[in-house]
Chains A and B, each alone.
Chain A
Amino acid sequence: MYQWVSLLSLWAIPVTISFVLLYGWRKQVPVYEAFVDGAKGGLTTTIRILPHLIAMMVAVTMFRESGALELLLGLIRPLLDALHFPEELVPLALLRPLTGTGSLAIATDLIAQYGPDSFLGRLAATMQGSTDTTLYVLTVYFGAVGIRNSAYALKVGLWSDLAGVIFSLLVVSYVFS
C-alpha cells in the first residue's frame, strides 16, 4: 500500500507535465510561447498578492510573539478539558487556520516529541492533513482579484476547520484505540 501511494505521489507531477505538453503539441499549440505567456501571468498575480500577504503575516507574527496566543490558550483551556480535547494539540488547532508553515512546525514538533505512532502523533498528522490555512487561502485568493468584502466565506472556512479538528479527534480515537 505504502509503495503504491509513494509511487503515485512521485509520478503525479511528471505525468501531468508530459501529458499536458504532448497533448498541446498534438493540438499544434506553440507550447514554448504559450508557457512563457502563462508564466508572465504568474508574475502579475504574485505582485497583486504581496501586500495582502504582508498585512496578514505582520498580524499573525505579532499575535504569536507578544504572548497573546498563549493567553488565548489559557482562556479556553477549561472548555477543552471539558471536551476531553488533548491540551498538547490546542496550539496546532488554533494556529492551523492562521499559518500553514507555523502549524506544520507544531505538528512536526509533536510527532518528534511523542513519536509518530503515538495517539498524539497520529492525531496531529490527521489534523494537519484534514484542515487548511483558511486565512491564508482567503487572503491569497481574494487578494488576487481585488475582493474586499469576503461575504460569508471566512465563516464557512473557520467552521469547517473546527469540524476537521473534531472529526480528526473522533476518527483517530475510534480507529486507533
Chain B
Amino acid sequence: MLNIIWLALIVVSIVVAAINGKINVVNQAAFEGAKTGVTVCFGLLSILAFWMGLMRIAERSGLLELLARVLSPIIRLLFPDVPNGHPAIGYILSNMSANLLGLGNAATPMGLKAMEELQKLNPNKHVASPAMCTLLAINTASITIIPTTMIAIRMQYGSASPVEIVGTTLLSSFGATIVALLLDRWYRYRHAKRHR
C-alpha cells in the first residue's frame, strides 16, 4: 500500500507539472524535499538521543517494569499477543502517556523503543505484526489532553480564551481513537482469519 501511494504521489506530480509547464518546479521540489528529510532527521536526532538516554536510566532502575505492572490490564486488552511482563509493555505505556500529555517530542523515541521490542516478538520481520499495527493506531489517533502547540498559537494571535479548544480537542480525539481501535480490532480479526 505504501509502495502504491509513494509511486502515485511522484508520478502524478510529474504528470501534473508537465501539463502545467512547471517541470522545473518539480525538479527543484524533489531536491528540496530530500533536504527537508535530512533537516527533520537532524532535528529528531537531538530529541531521540536525549529521551533514549533518559529511558535507559528508567529501564535499568526498573521504573519501566513497575509502570508496566501497574497498567498491565489495559495493555493485555489492547495487546493480547504481548507476553506478560515483556519489556515492550513499559515502552508502550510511556509512549501512550507522552502522547496524552501532548509531548509529541518525547513520545516518538518511546514509541520507537516499543517497536524494537515488538519486532523481537515478530515472526515475520518484514511484515508488521498485529501488535505493531495496534501501536500505530494508538499513535496516529492519539487522545490529546493538552494540545500545547495549538494553545500557544491561539495565545499568539490574541484569543480571548486560548484553552477553550481543550474540551473540543479532547472529545474529537477521543472519538477518533475509539474509531481507530475498533477498526484495528476488525482488521486484526480479518487478518487472523486469513492467516490461519
Minimum C-beta distance from B49 to chain A (A): 3
Minimum C-beta distance from B115 to chain A (A): 5
Which A residues touch B140, using CB under 8 A? 132-134, 137-138, 156-157, 160-161
B interface list, Cβ under 8 A from A: 1-2, 5-6, 9-10, 12-14, 16-17, 20, 22, 25-26, 28-30, 32-34, 36-38, 40-42, 44-45, 48-63, 101-103, 106, 108-109, 111-112, 115-116, 118-119, 125-130, 132-133, 135-137, 139-142, 144, 146-151, 153-154, 157-169, 171-173, 175-177, 179-180, 183-184, 187-188, 190-191
Q: A13-B103, A153-B133, A160-B180 are in contact. Are A62 and B13 (CB under 8 A)?
A: yes
Q: A38-B57, A62-B10, A164-B176 are in contact. Are A116 and B157 (CB under 8 A)?
A: yes
Classify the interface of chain B: helix, strand, loop or mixed.
Answer: helix
Q: How many A-B residue pairs have CB under 8 A?
A: 359
The 28 listed contacts between A and B (C-beta, < 8 Å) are A5-B166, A8-B101, A39-B53, A39-B56, A42-B48, A54-B33, A59-B6, A59-B9, A62-B29, A62-B33, A65-B26, A65-B28, A66-B13, A66-B14, A112-B157, A115-B157, A116-B154, A116-B162, A121-B154, A125-B153, A145-B118, A146-B126, A157-B141, A160-B137, A163-B176, A163-B180, A167-B173, A170-B172
Q: List 15 extra interface pairs beyond A54-B34, A117-B159, CB under 8 A.
A: A20-B57, A27-B62, A59-B10, A62-B17, A65-B25, A66-B14, A66-B22, A67-B22, A122-B168, A129-B169, A130-B176, A134-B140, A142-B132, A147-B128, A171-B175
A46 to B47, CA, bound (A): 10
Q: A5-B151, A60-B33, A129-B165 are in contact. Are A41 and B176 (CB under 8 A)?
A: no
Instruction: Output the nearest chain A residue to B109 by Cβ-Cβ distance.
Output: A42
Interface membership of A76, Cβ < 8 A: no
Does the CB pair A157–B115 fall under 8 Å?
no
Interface residues on A, range: 35 or more
Does the CB pair A107–B61 fall under 8 Å?
no
Which A residues touch B63, using CB under 8 A? 20, 23-24
Does the CB pair B37–A56 fall under 8 Å?
yes
Interface membership of A141, Cβ < 8 A: yes
Does the CB pair B17–A66 fall under 8 Å?
yes
